[in-house]
Homo-oligomer: A and B are copies of this chain.
Amino acid sequence: MEKFFNPQSVVIIGASNSPSNLGKTICNFLTHIKYKGKIYVVNKNGENVGGCHAYINILDIPGDIELGIIFTPAKVVPLMMKKCGEKGVKNIIIESAGFSEKNAEGQRIQEEIDFISSAYGIRYLGPNCFGVISTHNRFSTFFGIFPGAFDELFDNPGKISYVIQSGAIGTIIMDFLKDDVIKINKIVSIGNKANIDETDVLEYLRDDNTEVIGMYLENIQSGKKFLDVAKSVKKPILVYKVGKTNAGVRAAISHTAGMVNNDLIFDSACRQAGIVRLQYINELYSIPKIFSMPPLKGTRIAIFTNSGALGGIIADMLIEAGFKVPLFSDGLQKKLKKKIDPPSISNPIDVGPITDFKIFQNIFLDLLSSKEVDCIFAAHNLWQKDVIYSIIDLFSLGIKYQKPVAIYLPISLEKIISIRTEYQIPIFESLQEAVTALSISHQHFIYMSRR
């Protein structure tokens, strides 16, 4: 699949200068992000689009084409596929809609396409999809995105890759991760997945430079194949699957035309294959930052806060999620008390109004080096510089001691996001997000150690 992410030459079939043309937006975007391969266009009038040289017939383009993107009305797609086949294009993205998700005629066209692709040995993504994004290669086939809208993502290529059965979910993910510390590697929108499906992409991501895999699915093409591949993946796989209820199924069918599988079976299969099934769609982009930290190896959490109320709230949430908030041993309490005599030291630690870098650092060292603690959960609503620097320091210490750190700031979301962006600290946006992230980190660790 490499050619889908890093083609030396690409042709956009059906891009034109007409005001409502969407193929044009891909040309403009590729030019804007300075994609380094050759970009050609094919349209009826042979008119150049967004600085990309145009041809009326794909066969007239000089040299090889590594990737074709088709954006014509559905009924013309078979002919364009055939021409691509003649030109020797082996990789195609069909972004047009109007196939099996629409009606019987669309289904017929789909069959024609399948016949042509197998005759010419073509592999294709879609139809009814957005194609791919590869930040490391500064490449994107997503339509309808304004140049400049996602510069941060291409300027900071990252380590999480997504497989999505909806372009809208793709843009939501991109919009959120602009403001987060974990960044995007690839996104693959599979749409109706008539040829390349979620399993094919998962297999590819298993072996590339991706470190965390996120998936938004409306159905599974082949359950067995999917699970076999998933079991062979060592990277965390986070899946949100729609279609848990009849109404959700109804929506999914009209969206990408998949047969929706039995949801309970999918659920138990996920557990077998070590796949993390997410409860909420926003977890697909909020949780991955936990994987920028060492895995959570045990369940004993130390809570560090300046608010007695928050200490209690967090303790409740952790225990309800299956964690332990153990009373520290006398030895550890004595050690901590040498540094500080706060309102509470037994766990939760409530330091009250103290905000001293050195004191905080000493407490963190005591906790992280202790055999009684697997992780520190820090929640502070005083955000003096000293507190921020302590938290930054806490992350380095966490890496040194190979224990993760969960951070939440009980301040407005605007402030959370601005501090997270400025200091590049993986702060969660809510307490429940932080707790869920710890559960998932531990779940992945346990699965990998058992294997």
Binding site for B on A (CB under 8 A): 165-166, 168-169, 171-172, 175-176, 178-179, 216, 218, 240, 242-252, 254-256, 280-282, 303, 306-313, 315-316, 318-320, 325, 327, 343-344, 346-348, 350, 381, 410-415, 417, 429-432
Contact = CB atoms under 8 A, between A and B. Distances in A.
A412 B243 contact: no
A315 B346 CA distance: 45
Given A172-B381, A216-B309, A251-B348, A245 B316 contact: yes
Nearest to A416: B413
Given A252-B312, A411-B172, A246 B346 contact: no
Count identical subunits in the complex.
2
A143 to B, nearest CB: 11
Given A176-B412, A350-B254, A168 B243 contact: no
A281 B431 contact: yes
B165 A309 contact: yes
B308 A179 contact: no
Given A249-B312, A254-B343, A413-B429, 14 more contacts: A166-B308, A168-B410, A175-B415, A176-B412, A179-B413, A242-B312, A244-B320, A245-B320, A247-B325, A248-B312, A251-B311, A252-B312, A254-B308, A255-B312
Contact of A247 (B256, B308, B315): B315
A428 to B, nearest CB: 12
Contacts of A248: 312-313, 315-316, 319
Nearest to A327: B250
11 contacts: A166-B307, A168-B310, A169-B309, A176-B413, A179-B414, A242-B312, A245-B316, A248-B312, A250-B327, A255-B308, A413-B429
Contacts of A247: 315-316, 318-319, 325, 347-348
Given A166-B307, A381-B168, A411-B175, A344 B251 contact: yes
Contact of A319 (B246, B313, B344, B429): B246
Contacts of A327: 250
Contact of A175 (B252, B348, B412, B430): B412
Contacts of A431: 280-282
Nearest to A421: B414
Given A256-B308, A348-B251, A431-B281, A316 B412 contact: no
A334 B72 CA distance: 30
Given A251-B308, A413-B417, A244 B169 contact: no
